[in-house]
Structure formats: structure tokens, C-alpha cells
């Protein structure tokens, strides 16, 4: 009888240990063969600019359509369909991406300003995913595509998998990891502003085939990359979430709300900006029958 009770206790402990181990998961984003990925990305932003300084400079800004306080609202939407084929002899997966994009709408101080064509619209990209899950671009098809834009698109696409860098070790519920992302903001008339976005990702739990994460962002000026042409301060924070589909090893939903503040002192002109941006990327995955 004692041996029977001992066996039950040991079995319970083993089950407990096994369940605990299953709570930790190795995460890695990668494309799978013979899939269709249907993605839609919506971006919205409200930029509030405040100018102060010498009257002659303010007058020049006004002549170019800017007031001492200018509010710029933008909205864009990009859709894409990515199709992957079967593994080749090198364990690579061929893929193609077809983009459709609505014009980027811009409002200034509540009035319609313009609707700029999105350079991603009607673009088709072909390439391969290598054995390390890295995208390699073979060709980009679109009318009026110059080399500069082509290089930007290639760099952006090939770095897609590095947007969220999961740690090599398994992650359990309640555990978090951080990632630093450098970002360069071009500014007309002054040197580009370099900032660092530090993001903390936290695993909240599991829901069937899905892993649910939260995210928090902190923004600061990258002092090592900054030049002394202007006195600049930068700060900001954000929050969001993303959903990882474990069977597909892919992020199917990513949403971020972020606010960034910049202050630039050029001596004769001072600029303050507040940018509130929302981004939402959703992907639906379908298996292709062969």
C-alpha cells in the first residue's frame, strides 16, 4: 500500500514537471513551404509641429504653408499576398509577393493636402527564403522603379525577420526579453536625428495555437551617433501587442501605439514636435494544396 501511494506521488510530480516544461516554448519567425500569407498593414499618425524664433524665419515658414503650430495627419494602407513554394535542393523556399497599396492621404491643419501614390503599389517581388529563414531578393518588378528606391525596398524586406528577435532560449509565461532598434529620422535643413527604441516583449499566455505577447517601448536619443549641429532632445514611449501562431511559426497580428517628442534648437529657430502613431499588421495564412 505504501509503495502504491509512493508511485502516485512520483507520478504526480512527473506530470507537474512535464506540464511546467511545456509552458516554455522556443519561438522563431519563419516562412513555411506551400503557404499563402495575406497581410494588411494600416498606419496612422498625427504630427504636431510648433515653431518659434526670429520673425523673418517664421514668415518664411508661413509662406510655405506652415503656421506656428501645424498639425499633419497621415493615413496609409498596404496589402500583400506572399506565396511560397516547395523546398529546393538547397533547402531554400521560393516566394513571390504581390503588393497593393492605397495612396497616402495627408491633412494639414484639418484640410486635405494631398494623396501621394505609394511606391509599393503594383509591385511584385520574387526571391528565396534560405535555410536560416532569411529573405533573399532575386527581382523587383514595377514601372518607374529607380535604383535608390529598389535598394531601400530590398533592405526593408530582407530585415523583416529581424524586427522581433526572439532569444535562443525557451520563454515561459510572465517572462520577457528586450530589443534595441536604432532609427534614423531625416530632417530637412539639419543633420538626421538618430534615436534608439528599446522594446520589452512579455509572454502573457497561450490560447490554443496562439502565444499572446505585450510590448512596451521607450525612446531616447542615440548620443553616440548624434552630431553637434543643433541642440536636440528626444523622448517617447509606446505599447502594443502581438500574436504568434505556434503551428506556423509566424506573427499573425502586431499592433503598436507610440508617442515620440522631439525638440530641436537651431539658434534662430526652435522646433518642437509630438508624433502619435498607430500601426496594425495582420496576416492570415493558408496552406496551398499540391
Q: What is the pLDDT along the chain (290 residues), one digit of tens a residue?
A: 445 544 444 444 444 433 344 478 899 999 999 999 999 999 999 999 999 988 888 888 888 777 889 999 999 999 999 999 999 998 999 999 999 989 999 999 999 888 888 888 888 999 999 877 888 888 888 877 777 777 777 766 655 555 788 999 999 999 999 999 888 877 665 667 888 999 999 999 999 999 999 999 999 987 665 555 678 888 999 999 999 999 999 999 999 999 999 998 888 889 999 999 999 999 999 998 76
Whole-number pLDDT of residue 103: 92
Whole-number pLDDT of residue 255: 96
Question: What are the extents of the domains in the chain?
Answer: 1-28+167-278, 31-47+71-162
Whole-number pLDDT of residue 224: 61
Whole-number pLDDT of residue 170: 93
CA dist 271 and 249 (Å) reads 44
Whole-number pLDDT of residue 240: 96
Whole-number pLDDT of residue 175: 95
The answer for residues whose C-beta is within 8 angstroms of residue 74's C-beta and 6 or more apart is 43, 44, 45, 47, 104, 105, 106, 107
In three state form, how does the secondary structure of the chain look?
CHHHHHHHHHHHHHHHHHHHHHCCECCCCCCCCCEEEEEEEEEEEEEEEEEEECHHHHHHHHHCCCCCEEEEEEEEEEEEEEEECCCCCCCCEEEEEEEEECCEEEEECCEEEEEECCCCCCCEEEEEECCCCCEEEEEEECCCCCHHHHHHHHHHHHCHHHCCCCCCCCECCCCEEEEEEEEEECCCCCCCEEEEEEEEEEEEEEECCEEEEEEEEEEEECCCCCCCCCEEEEEEEEEEEEEEECCCCEEEEEEEEEEEEEEEECCCEEEEEEEEEEEEEEEEEEECCC
Amino acid at each position: 500500500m505504501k509503495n502504491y501511494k509512493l508511485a502516485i506521488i512520483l507520478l504526480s510530480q512527473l506530470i507537474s514537471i512535464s506540464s511546467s516544461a511545456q509552458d516554455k516554448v522556443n519561438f522563431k519567425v519563419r516562412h513555411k513551404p506551400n503557404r499563402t500569407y495575406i497581410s494588411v498593414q494600416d498606419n496612422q499618425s498625427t504630427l504636431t509641429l510648433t515653431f518659434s524664433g526670429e520673425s523673418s524665419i517664421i514668415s518664411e515658414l508661413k509662406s510655405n504653408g506652415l503656421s506656428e503650430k501645424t498639425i499633419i495627419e497621415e493615413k496609409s494602407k498596404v496589402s500583400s499576398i506572399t506565396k511560397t513554394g516547395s523546398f529546393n535542393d538547397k533547402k531554400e523556399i521560393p516566394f513571390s509577393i504581390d503588393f497593393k497599396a492605397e495612396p497616402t492621404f495627408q491633412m494639414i491643419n484639418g484640410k486635405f493636402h494631398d494623396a501621394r501614390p505609394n511606391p509599393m503599389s503594383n509591385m511584385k517581388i520574387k526571391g528565396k527564403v534560405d535555410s536560416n529563414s532569411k529573405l533573399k531578393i532575386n527581382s523587383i518588378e514595377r514601372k518607374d522603379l529607380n535604383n535608390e528606391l529598389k535598394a531601400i525596398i530590398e533592405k526593408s524586406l530582407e530585415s523583416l525577420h529581424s524586427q522581433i528577435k526572439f532569444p535562443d532560449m525557451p520563454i515561459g509565461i510572465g517572462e520577457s526579453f528586450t530589443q534595441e532598434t536604432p532609427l534614423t529620422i531625416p530632417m530637412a535643413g539639419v543633420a538626421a536625428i538618430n534615436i534608439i527604441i528599446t522594446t520589452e516583449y512579455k509572454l502573457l499566455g497561450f490560447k490554443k495555437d496562439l502565444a499572446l505577447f505585450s510590448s512596451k517601448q521607450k525612446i531616447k536619443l542615440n548620443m553616440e551617433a548624434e552630431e553637434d549641429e543643433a541642440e536636440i532632445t528626444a523622448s517617447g514611449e509606446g505599447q502594443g501587442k502581438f500574436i504568434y501562431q505556434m503551428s506556423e511559426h509566424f506573427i499573425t497580428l502586431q499592433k503598436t501605439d507610440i508617442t515620440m517628442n522631439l525638440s530641436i534648437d537651431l539658434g534662430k529657430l526652435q522646433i518642437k514636435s509630438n508624433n502619435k502613431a498607430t500601426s496594425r499588421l495582420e496576416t492570415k495564412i493558408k496552406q496551398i494544396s499540391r
